[in-house]
Structure 1
Amino acid sequence: MNHPAVGPLTAVADGVRVTLRVTPGAARNAVAGVAETAPGRLALKVTVTAAPEGGKANAAVVKLLAGAWGLPKSALSVVTGATDRNKVLHVAGEPAELMRRLGALMD
């Protein structure tokens, strides 16, 4: 089953993967738009005040995005890049509904 990618979103069988570019230790927690990380590759820019130690920044990213997207924190998990600024976040749920909902929030 081949799912389309829309910006930093990619539908997968059990939800959506979101490519992130995270800036820890920022002045405020915010979703700062979409940026090109490499030619043709887009990532959702996220800034968090938490330090990048002991998983604090990752927890802050999950909390921020769950709140912004109206989803339970348990539906979000970092699947790659746990110790890197470039991350992939998995959002569990029905792929078509999540793509529509999250895509609309990023426009």
Structure 2
Amino acid sequence: MRRTCHEVTAEGIRLRLRVTPKSRREGPQGFVEMPEGGWALKLGINAAPEDGKANAAIVALLAKHLPVAKAAISVAAGAKDRRKLVDIRGRPPELVAALEAWLSPILEYEA
């Protein structure tokens, strides 16, 4: 079963995240099933969840691994929650390809 944590939008993609702040290991850590249905990417970040530091760390990490600038990434929902929806503006095919390449070790492991 293929787990997907994103959906294509008119302006790019929307990514569902379940964030673990103050994580020892930064980056993707698997998938988690959401109570409302669907899957979210479990993402560890080193930053603490205070003063927007965690959200800034999420944006920086995504911009590092996807072909967009930080300005093209925004937290659409869940700014003060571990569950987040993140909008990434850009060309959907390129964003999906880059996301799948970044997540390929997890996708292969959980297949």
Is the structural similarity TM-score above 0.5?
yes
- Correspondence for 1:21 among 18, 26, 34: 18
- Paired residues of 1:66 and 1:76 also in contact (CA < 8 A): yes
- Correspondence for 2:61 among 54, 64, 68: 64
- Correspondence for 1:7 among 4, 18, 21: 4
- Paired residues of 2:67 and 2:95 also in contact (CA < 8 A): no
TM-score (norm 2): 0.80
Deviations along 1:42-88, whole A, 9 cap, x unmatched? 01111111111110000001111111224311111100000000000
- Structure 2 residues not aligned, in runs of 5+: 105-111
The equivalent of 2:79 in structure 1 is: 82
Richer in strand (by share): 1
Deviations along 1:3-31, whole A, 9 cap, x unmatched? xxx71110011110000000111123222
Secondary structure of 1:64 counterpart? helix
Deviation at 1:39, TM superposition (A): 6.8
- Structure 1 residues not aligned, in runs of 5+: 1-5
- Correspondence for 1:99 among 80, 96, 99: 96
| Equivalences, count | 102
